[in-house]
A and B are shown apart, each in its own frame.
Chain A
Amino acid sequence: MKTAMRDRDENNSTEAALELNAVSKTFTSGKRIIQALDGISARISLGCITGLIGSDGAGKTTLMRLAAGLLLTDSGQMKVLGRDVATEALAIQAMLGYMPQRFGLYEDLSVQENLDLYADLQGLPLAERPSRYAELMHMTGLATFTRRLAGQLSGGMKQKLGLACTLVRSPQLLLLDEPTVGVDPVSRRELWAIIERQVESTQMSVLLSTAYLDEAERCAEVLLLHEGKLLSQGPPAEFSNRLKGRTYSLSATGLTKRELQRRLSRAPGVLDALIQGEHVRLVMTNHEPPDVKHMLLGIEGVELSAVPPRFEDSFVEMLGINTPKYPVSDSHTSVKPITGGAAIEVQDLTRCFGKFVAVDSVSFNVGRGEVFGLLGANGAGKTTTFRMLCGLLPVSSGRASVAGVDLHQAAATARARIGYMSQRFSLYGQFSVIQNLRFFGSAYGLNGVHRQSRIDWALQEFGLASEVDSNSDALSLGYRQRLSMACALLHEPEILFLDEPTSGVDPLARREFWRRINTLAEQGVTVLVTTHFMEEAEYCDRLAIMAAGRILVLGSPAEIKTKAQTVSQPTPTLEDAFIRLIQPSTELQA
């Protein structure tokens, strides 16, 4: 399939969909120069899906925009379908379809009007339209919504409509910039199915960028980008094969999963130890099997089994973490002794915005020292629930108490006992690291010697000492995340609210982050976290999966997986479980 070419035009026949030759691109923001792409050379094959994988700031979007002729390279050459982007941008644009990260749907136009607009702009002949429209609408499942305004579609439907508009005149090269970000797992699978079907039926070439590492495995080839550099290129199987025979799953009845993970991650020869439900997944630095007896001396009920390697394992290996850059110590906070009762109690919590019910009688309890996850797609009601529990948004009806304080009566009292870290890290960009820390310390009522000692603790603990005087918006994403968490922990809160704390950060930063969370939990801090990474849900003690303002299912990761077991799928992943639970009757034909 890779060599399949469309040679309608003799002169136009090319061997690569995209060719990059030492391509570099820098941006300046204020005084800072950002090297978005640093001497990238690569070839992207025709007729298949190539994945562009990397964290935020890896250079994915820049590469896409260069290919679409929206940016010019600083140096190096870029050819799309055999033509030079620098000189033939218009001709190239006529051959490609490009879906930017937030696709440019006109929200006040209907589905049909959006399609018509793009059909006109792409010059699709009128005669071909009825059949093409029917095909696209059938494919995307939007056929019954053609008259609905695009702004009133769900996130997943918007992405599908965006894709339909891009595909309205079948392009030779399709550029998709993070098409699955913030989309629920069901829509994600459907998007993939649509793209795969297009490639099969029209031999279209696709370049798709994503931050979800599990999506890499669905691509024919993968370019792995990190901070503007190409780490590696090849079929995904090649990536994981490097680690064949080095990945294991381990469980022990004698230890909590967090304790188990901590011990294992310090053991010699272990590259990566990750909680996965009740198990810990191990990646070894070499082919020698883990010396379990030695690692877990005197622990009962140890079970070890080999598991197949994943794409992420090789990413982690490539980024090189033999030891974490900033070791996470065991002394985070000095939380007061735990008193009885649940940390968070929620009963029939409801929030309406006008007629729209964002959160619909949600009930759950979170025990002290528990890590509780709220999962769901964008718009499922996670953030609204969160804001109510933090006392930032009044409750429409129902009851909620946080740290034993009823939010109806004393939201402010409750707020003093919680720490909050939001998606966008809410830091003051013009302030330096130390100024941010001082400000948040004072905002939480710390002063004098106590404040200074907490700031010293934060600088040391989060490895921020070297960046003390840098403005926080000049920091890298990983550092900003650390600073944001440090600010949330200054006043030693009993409960920590984390709203999509790891979106966009690389797998290493994510691991470091979760190590901290685990340490906190072990010390009795209650953690409530939202995420749309199914992978992260595995780290939680219990989780609630939300959809359309309601809790679909609540339980430990293992319990949720058990609920979704079928004969054909005896060991479903959390994502499989989510999909099955959200549409119990229909079998998915992805």
Chain B
Amino acid sequence: MTRGGSTMRLRALVRKEFLQILRDPSSIAIAFVMPIVLLLLFGYGVSLDAKNVPVALVIDQPSADTASFSSAFYATDYFKPITLRNMQHAEIALLAGEVDGIVHLRADFGRDLRHAGGAPVQVIVNGVNANTGRLVLGYVNGVWSTWLQHQAEMRGGTLDVPVQVEQRVWFNSELRSRNFLVPGLIAIIMTLIGALLTALVVAREWERGTFEALMVTPVSITELMLGKMIPYFVLGTGSMLLSVVMALYLFDVPLRGSFWVLWLGSSLFLLVALGMGMLISTVTKNQFLAAQVAIIVTFLPAFLLSGFIFEIASMPTVVQIITHIIPARYFVALLQTLFLAGDVWSVILPNALALLLMAIVFFVLVWRKSRKRLE
């Protein structure tokens, strides 16, 4: 086959694929509508910060002290307190899920406060959601110590604490979970677009018998593969750009690394995802099966094991080892670093290298699995 013929064939395949993308609303939907929906959903809907947590303040005997203490709860954003007079009512509210915690000030709160032993405050937290439970506990402590300091200053002294913690939060100084969720989400979106979309469109060609007709033309396997890769690489880059623009301008996530490194890293990951998609569809040759397999072996692991939401370091060792074969893990690390920290080469280079290796492995597999044969 001449080189000119090869270019002509490849161009024809790519043009065909683009025409199909334009005419088939489902690929457009996956590439552009899905990122928007997912980003809005996760950007606004999912927040790992606890804000306006409903708590019950049970005050057995109101006094100036209890009023000043409870006003500290009313003043902060973290709590949405209701004041009750009766512990039983509070317990019912906790059981009913109306409040996530109870702060109980006993009748002798005012008196004990001025004694050497101090005033005990009972805090009951709903621990069903361990994460929220821990946060509520922490926040109550925070409110409590701030109030104590305030009280001390009012009395003209300082609170005598032997160790002072000076907190500095790096990279995400406001501790906004969105800043950390949105970059990770981009990895999930890319996984879906790269793997699911290619898996579906290649399997579709098997199902409709179009591949059988293509195979008996002078087209080569490499041309067929490139003919699929190029259009979906372009489409994937498009949705990557859309996601980045949304992250920067809608969610105000900072981009501290350079745009070009981000682009290169994403391209690498896109190649891996496309490779996975091609491999799945080459093996299954059936749209339904391809979709199932793509979701189970690419999307779910990327969601659960990439460190996008769930911290890898706190997983059991075995699971931590498994995360190393999840490509999204490296991309999440890359994205979080690039968005929040900057061009930290010591993080970027090993992760990029891992992605490159995976891309090579998948393409070798795809190339070996595809022959111009039906069996």
Residues of A in contact with B (beta carbons under 8 Å apart): 65, 68-72, 89-90, 93-94, 96-109, 113, 116-118, 120-123, 149, 162, 165-166
Contacts and interface: CB of A to CB of B under 8 A. Distances in A.
Contacts of B19: 108-109, 113
B52 interface: no
Interface stretch (B9-17, B37-45, B252-260): B9-17
A122 B216 contact: no
Interface string B19-35: 11001100000000000
A20 B297 CA distance: 44
Nearest to B211: A104
A86 to B, nearest CB: 11
B373 A113 contact: no
B375 interface: yes
B208 A107 contact: yes
5 contacts: A100-B209, A103-B209, A113-B19, A120-B8, A122-B218
Q: Which 8 pairs, one residue from A and one from B, show the smallest C-beta to C-beta distance?
A: A120-B12, A104-B213, A104-B210, A98-B216, A121-B217, A102-B209, A108-B23, A123-B5
Contacts of A97: 216
Contacts of B8: 120, 123
Interface string B161-179: 0000000000000000000
B218 A93 contact: yes
A105 B216 contact: no
A107 B2 CA distance: 30
A238 B361 CA distance: 59
B373 A70 contact: yes
Given A93-B217, A120-B12, 14 more contacts: A70-B212, A71-B375, A93-B215, A93-B216, A94-B1, A100-B209, A101-B209, A106-B16, A109-B23, A117-B15, A120-B11, A121-B219, A123-B2, A123-B5
A89 B216 CA distance: 9
Nearest to B6: A123
Contact of A116 (B5, B12, B23, B208): B12
B283 interface: no
B374 A65 contact: yes
A53 B213 CA distance: 22
B13 to A, nearest CB: 8
The size class of the interface chain B forms with chain A is: 20 to 34
A123 B12 CA distance: 10
A26 to B, nearest CB: 11
Given A108-B24, A123-B8, A113 B16 contact: yes
A117 B16 contact: yes
A225 B90 CA distance: 85
B50 interface: no
B285 to A, nearest CB: 14
Contacts of B374: 65, 70-71
Contacts of A102: 208-209
Given A72-B373, A100-B213, A106 B9 contact: no
Interface of B: 1-2, 5, 8-9, 11-13, 15-16, 19-20, 23-24, 205, 208-219, 372-375
Contacts of B12: 116-117, 120-121
A120 B218 CA distance: 10
A122 B209 contact: no
Nearest to B209: A102
Given A68-B216, A108-B24, A109-B16, A121 B209 contact: no
A106 B216 contact: no
Residue among B15, B208, B217 facing the most chain A CB atoms (10 A cut-off): B217
A99 B219 CA distance: 16
A90 B372 CA distance: 9
Contacts of A71: 373-375
Contacts of A122: 217-218
A123 B218 contact: yes
A101 B374 CA distance: 14
A73 B76 CA distance: 78
Contact of B210 (A70, A94, A105): A105
Contact of B218 (A101, A104, A109, A121): A121
Contacts of B11: 120
Nearest to B216: A98
B9 A123 contact: yes
Contacts of A105: 210
A475 B224 CA distance: 38
A105 B19 CA distance: 14
B149 to A, nearest CB: 69
Contacts of A100: 209, 212-213
A71 B372 CA distance: 9
Contacts of A96: 216
A397 to B, nearest CB: 31
Contacts of A90: 218, 372
B214 A104 contact: yes
A48 B373 CA distance: 28
Contacts of A70: 212, 215-216, 372-374
Contacts of A121: 9, 12-13, 214, 217-219
